[in-house]
Amino acid sequence: MVPVHEKSGMSARVEPCARRHPRGAARVLRAALALVLLLPLAAWPQREAAAQTTAGVTINESGGSTSVPENGTATDSFTVELNTQPTHDVRVFMLTTANSTVKRPGFIGSNLNLEVFEFTPSNWNIAQTLTLQGVDDSIDNPGDQRTAEILVYNRSDDPAYDVRKLVGSVTVTVVDDDDPPTGIALSASPASISESATGSARSVTVTATVQGATRFGTSQTVSVSAAKTSGSVGVAGIADFDVVIDAGARSGAASVVVAPQDDAVDEADAVVTFTGSLPGATVTSAALRVVDDDEPPTLTVAADTSPVTEGTAASFTISASPAAASPVPVAYTVTQDGAFVASGSLGPQSVTLSGASVTVTVPTVADRVDEANGSVTVTLDPGSDYTVGTPGHATAAVSDDDEAGVSLSESSGTTSVPEDGSAADSWTVVLDSQPTRTVTVAVSAASGARIDGPDSAQTFTATETLTFSPTDWNSAQTVRVRGVDDSIDNPDNARSVTVTHSVSSNDPLYGALADKTVTVTVTDDDGTAAEPVLSVTGGGAVTEGSAASFAIRAWPAAPDPLTVQYTVTGQGGFIAPGELGPQTVTLSGIGGALSIPTLVVAGSATGSVTVSLTPGVGYAVGKPASATVTVADTDPGGVVEPGGATGSGGGGSGGGPAAPTRERSDAVVIVADGWNPADVAVASVLSAATADSAVLYTHRERLPSEAREVLDEVLPRKVIVVGGPAAVGTDAITAIRDSSDLSVIERVAGADRYGTAAAAARSVLGAPGGDAVTVVLANGHSPPDVGAAAAIAARTPDAAVLYTAADGLPDATAAVLREYRPERAVLVGGPTAVPADVDAAVREAAPGAEVVRVAGDTRFATAAAAAQHVLGDPRPDRNLTVVIANGHSPADIGAAVALAARTADSAVVYTATDGLSGPTARLLADYRPTRIAIVGGVAAISDGAEREAAQAALGAAVERFTGDTRTHTAAVIARRILGVP
């Protein structure tokens, strides 16, 4: 037996020492390994406790112990030597008890398993050193260290050293540098199973895997629990279980049975979540999906059969087959035919279905628009949790509950007014439903009543226009009505007047509505036996031998024939004795004509015949009660002045040889002062009312040569001078008489421009009480408005022009209005030219007249408005003439009106010198006249303005009427009208 000598507690010395044999290392290693294999560690003899001083091995640890870091940054060592000299070589074997713990530096390999020192009889006493280095690992050792024991054995042919047992050992401490793991991840395999899984298919392996680079140095037990965390597939409960991770192992696993509950319902997959816990570590969970293997439900949709009226909801039922075991999100789309559903309820929508069905509602919006019936449709959209069956869409009809219409609400249920206009009644007009476009209600009253709409002007007229928009359609508008006085005794002291409401609109439903009416009862205030009041007026002057004409008018009209008494007187001896003195005539209705023959009296002066009404039975005598007609002597000599007086001719010779006889024409020439716009306008209107007539201009005291020539060539049957002696003096009258070869020149004149217009109006309109008449009024001091007014009157049947003042209604004008009681009064010009108080005075003087205003922002716009008033709506089939004059030239305006007065289907507009005014250009473009007549030379209307007019009218024939002077221009136009070359 080889004794072992230990030193310093941890080391042993064995003597003798032998030198390590350097040869046959591989052979020795193989032998040592074989020895180890043949002699397991447990079978080797145990080391003796007692030290021996004979043959043995001594082990010396440096520092008394052996310790190395596992990361290999430092080494430690011990020596081995023999105690005595052997007789044969001795091999000392060193084996580690823990693999992968220590190794020799630079050793090829990762650890120290077996090391062999060879000692010989010659080197037995030389110590051999074993240097050790730690082997790094990833295991967190308890106490941050681990140990490895190196066992020492020896073999030799020397019996003393061939002991074949443990002769020594060295304990090596390896210092750990690994941190403990802090994370563990659970995983499940397989990741999913079917809800119909059975047997081994229900077995699930749950693995706990250490996260990170380090491992536990001791065994770890992860506590795991399982629960269904989502979905609808049923899963049986799972008991808690453990997963063990062995020391140094990366993972551990355990098997668990997951038992799904199979059914036939399509439902959401279930998720089973495995959660774990381990003190000091975070355990992440794992999920197992339990997959549903049933088909999704098939959805259909049906509409509720209940009627749907706008403002109520349409209902739809979405059905599932089979029923949905869990909530199913269903997508659908709402569309409509019509406009009943609000935008927020249209388009993509969604609802959650649970069970067999779900009801969705689509609200409709109630409005007041009359519209076609429509519908609402619900269409199922594809989804991941269901399939769309048939029917996949359903439609509910939606009925409109509005109707286009106009409601008239009479204030007291009926409408009644007195005929004297002292009180008014009213009704309201409102639409029954909201229109899609503006609706216009034209309200017109028949004769016997006048109406006033909701406009700002408190005026009663024959027509009113009410306008309703899509926003104010339900705001009622009030129409007031007032009676129009007459002198007729109505049966039962009342008459009925129909007020018609005509509807027009681009909304087809409103545009198709029939007229609606209100019947107004007008209570009568006329006595049963009211006597007509008679008046008499005389006609124009006559020459001796011609009959003098008179008109007797009755107001009110005589219901039965009347025997009217009158007296005839005369001056100058022109009346036969049988025609003088008291006379009678039978008249009926509104009166009749009276003709008094005259005699030719040689050498007599101008005389007259007068008719005076005398009281009789069944009538009263009113004013004028008498009238006088001038009778002119055929001998040369005078002019018939207004009222029948005869003035001197102002230069006639009264004798001389007879002139050659020439044939006289049927023409009538009307002469006015060309520098007096008011008289020129009156002359034009008078010409319009007089057949075969034309207008010439004169100077106050001199007849221009152009006018002389026309009179001389035409030889008119009559010449009418407009204006008093201040406008056309005696010298001019003499020249007119000489040029026309007429003894009598008729003058139409008054005390001023207002009186002259009034005199001309009476001449044009004839006796009062006849046909309904129109008067056109303009400020007598505004030449462009005077011209526009004359243009309207000239082209309007039974119309005359009258003048107003800026500060009131002249007496002469008011008298004509009261006498003729016009049906219509047209005011030309804006409120500056014809102010509101003048408007009111016109209405007062002509109660019951429809008063309209024609005006524009400028003189050009006013003229264009007047032209539109005359022409009416544009028509493509008319042969229209537009006469254009410079709006700043009163003389040209007058000439233009005179031309239009004698030209069929024509109107007058104004322009500036250098360019066509905007209103005129628009009128030409709208009406497309076939002919344009330009009055005045290029100094008045330039060639450029003429071209613009032609362009605006697109190809109209253009003719210019002009002369060297205003009188020449008037003469050119007169020649054209009268057909004189």
46-80 confidence digits (pLDDT tens): 444 344 458 889 999 988 899 989 888 888 899 99
DSSP strand pairing (241-245 vs 220-230): antiparallel
More confident residue, 622 or 444: 444
**Residues 54, 84: Cα–Cα separation, whole Å:** 7
Burial 430-441 (b: 16+ CB within 10 A, else e): bbbbbbbebbbb
Q: Among 665, 747, 674, which Cα is nearest to 970's?
A: 674
**Residues 933, 899: Cα–Cα separation, whole Å:** 9
Q: Does the pLDDT at position 901 exceed 80?
A: yes
**Residues 90, 163: Cα–Cα separation, whole Å:** 11
Which residue spans within 830-930 are E strands per DSSP?
850-854, 881-886, 906-911
Q: Does the pLDDT at position 720 exceed 90?
A: yes
pLDDT, average across residues 793-800? 89
Domain coordinates of the chain in residue numbers? 5-175, 183-291, 298-303+314-389, 406-523, 533-634, 636-655+662-749
- Residue 221 φ then ψ, to 5°: -120, 115
Predicted confidence (pLDDT) per residue in 583-616, tens digit:
999 887 767 778 888 876 766 667 888 999 999 8
- Asked: is 533-634 a CATH 3.20.20.105 domain? The reply is no
Predicted confidence (pLDDT) per residue in 312-365, tens digit:
999 999 999 988 877 899 999 999 998 889 888 999 999 999 889 999 999 998
Q: Does the pLDDT at position 776 exceed 90?
A: yes
CATH assignment of 406-523? 2.60.40.10
> 43, 35 in Cβ contact below 8 A?
no
**Residues 801, 596: Cα–Cα separation, whole Å:** 31
Sole residue written with tokens 């008679």: 534
Provide the percentage of residues in the chain whose pLDDT is more than 90. Answer: 42
Q: Name residues whose C-beta falls within 8 Å of residue 586's C-beta, 6 or more positions apart in sequence.
A: 561, 562, 563, 564
Sole residue written with tokens 């050793």: 107
**Residues 21, 42: Cα–Cα separation, whole Å:** 28
- Asked: is 636-655+662-749 a CATH 1.20.1300 domain? The reply is no
- What pLDDT band is residue 475 in, cutting at 50, 70 and 90? very high
CATH assignment of 5-175? 2.60.40.2030
pLDDT at residue 83 in the model: 92
Domain 636-655+662-749 in the same topology as domain 183-291: no
Provide the percentage of residues in the chain whose pLDDT is more than 70. Answer: 88
Predicted confidence (pLDDT) per residue in 136-188, tens digit:
888 988 888 888 888 888 889 999 888 778 888 899 999 988 889 999 999 99
**Residues 243, 35: Cα–Cα separation, whole Å:** 41
Mean pLDDT is highest, among 3-12, 457-466, 846-855, for: 846-855
Q: Among 785, 803, 806, 798, which Cα is nearest to 824's?
A: 798
pLDDT, average across residues 800-826? 91
Predicted confidence (pLDDT) per residue in 98-117, tens digit:
655 666 665 544 455 678 99
Q: Does the pLDDT at position 309 exceed 70?
A: yes
**Residues 265, 294: Cα–Cα separation, whole Å:** 6
**Residues 780, 791: Cα–Cα separation, whole Å:** 14
One-letter amino acid for residue 613 of the chain: L
Task: Enter the tokens of residue 863.
Answer: 């003229």
Topology of domain 183-291, CATH: Immunoglobulin-like (2.60.40)
3-class SS of residue 583: strand
C-alpha 843: how far from its chain's center?
43
Q: Does the pLDDT at position 648 exceed 60?
A: no
